[in-house]
Amino acid sequence: MIVTITPNPALDVTYHVPSLTPGSEHRVHHMYVRPGGKGINTAKVLSQLGQQTIATGFLGGGNGETMIRLLDEDHVPHSFVQAASSTRRTVSIIDPINGATLFNEPGEERTEREWDELIELLNGMQTPDLFTVNGSFPPNTSEATVRRLYRGLLATGAIVLVDTSHEPLRWAIEEGVHAVKPNQHELAELVSSDTEDVRISLARLLEHVQFVVASRGADGMIAQVRGGDAVEVPAAKFVVGNPTGAGDSVVASLARSIVRDGLEAAHQPDVLRTWVADAIALSAATVAAPVAGEFDEATYWELLGEQA
C-alpha cells in the first residue's frame, strides 16, 4: 500500500487553445477538470498502474466536493480531512507554440486543528509500505508543523519519499526521511551551488537520507542509494504535450519500484537503472496524456522498450 499526502491539493482546470495571445480573447477547443495536486496526481497514476494506493490531505468547499466526486469516478481510493476553507484551483492553458502556461492559486492556510486531524488520520491507518509527501504546503504552514508531519510518518516504520521544494524539502532531509526527488534547480538550492558536480551534491544529501533521485530535464536523471554507485539514465525522446504532472509520475514509478523490490535493491546498479528508466518512460508518457495524473499507455510501453 502506498499513501500519497497532498498538503495543498488543487482542482485542475486545463484549457486547450489553438494559440495563446496575451490580452486577446480565446476560444477553448477542449476543457478538462480534474482533481489535482502532486500527491493526487501520483495516486491517480498508481491506480492506473494497478498499484494499491490511498490519496489523502486536505479538501474543502465546493472545489473539494468536486474533487471527491471526480476521484470516485476515477476509482481512486481516498481519505481526506474536511477543511473549513475551500481547496484552491490551478489553471493550465495549452497551446501548440508555448506548451503549458500555468496559473497556480496559493491555497488557504490550514489551522492547527486541521493539521492535528490529518496527523491523527495518518497515524490511525494500517501502516502502509510507503508514504509520499508531494508538492507545496499551504501558506503560513510552520516549520514545527512540517517537521511534526515528517517525524510522525517516520515513526510508523514505513518508507517516506518526499517531493517538495524550498524549506519543506530541506527540513525533510534534516529529519532523515528515506528518499527525496529534487530537480536540478532544487538540488542546487539545497547545496547552495549551481556549479558543484552533481555527484558531489548527491553525496552531501546522502549523509542525511538513504536515496536520492534528481531529475535534470534534457539530461535525464541520476540516482544513488547510500553506499551504492550513482546511476545516470538519459532522457527519453521528446514528447509533445502537457508536462504538468510529469514529475508526479516519476514519484509514482519510484514508489512502486521501492515497494516491489525494497530500498536495498537499489544497491544493485542494474536494478536501479531499471527503476530510473521506468520513471523516465512513465514521466514522458504523462506528457503525452491530455491532463496531469494520467499517462498514455502506448507511449509508456514504447519508451520503456527504448530505455531498456
Label each residue of the chain as H, E or C: CEEEEECCCEEEEEEECCCCCCCCCCCCCEEEEEEECHHHHHHHHHHHCCCCEEEEEEECHHHHHHHHHHHHHCCCCECCEECCCCCEEEEEEEECCCEEEEEECCCCCCCHHHHHHHHHHHHHCCCCCEEEEECCCCCCCCHHHHHHHHHHHHHCCCEEEEECCHHHHHHHHHHCCCEECCEHHHHHHHHCCCCCCHHHHHHHHCCCCCEEEEECHHHCEEEEECCCCCEEECCCCCCCCCCCCHHHHHHHHHHHHHHHHCHHHHHCHHHHHHHHHHHHHHHHHHHCCCCCCCCCHHHHHHHHHHHC
249 and 41 Cβ atoms separated by less than 8 Å: yes
- The set of residues, in sequence order, having a beta carbon less than 8 Å from that of 12 and lying 6+ positions away, is 32, 33, 34, 35, 36, 89, 90, 92, 244, 291, 292, 293
Q: What is the greatest pairwise CA distance in the chain?
A: 56
Residue-level pLDDT at 258 = 98
Q: How many CA atoms lie within 13 A of 220 on its CB side?
A: 15
Residue-level pLDDT at 274 = 95
For residue range 288-297, what is the model confidence (pLDDT) as tens digits? 887 778 888 8
Residue-level pLDDT at 140 = 95
Residue type at 202 in one-letter notation: L
11 and 67 Cβ atoms separated by less than 8 Å: yes
- CA nearest to 148, candidates 168, 127, 128, 126: 168
Residue-level pLDDT at 194 = 63
For residue range 159-216, what is the model confidence (pLDDT) as tens digits? 999 999 999 999 999 999 999 999 888 988 888 766 568 888 899 999 999 999 999 8
Residue-level pLDDT at 126 = 84
d(CA 40, CA 5): 8
Of all residues in the chain, the percent with pLDDT exceeding 70 is: 97
d(CA 148, CA 175): 10
Residue-level pLDDT at 193 = 65
Which residue in the block uniquely carries the three cell numbers 509508456? 300
Query: Mean pLDDT per 10-residue run, the chain (308 residues)?
Result: 97 91 88 93 95 97 96 95 94 87 92 95 91 96 97 96 96 97 88 74 93 90 95 83 84 97 96 96 87 83 76
pTM score above 0.95:
no
Residue type at 247 in one-letter notation: G
- Residue 265's alpha-carbon distances to 130, 137, 180, in angstroms, are 15, 31, 17
Rounded to a whole number of angstroms, the CA Rg of the chain reads 19
Which residue in the block uniquely carries the three cell numbers 534534457? 218
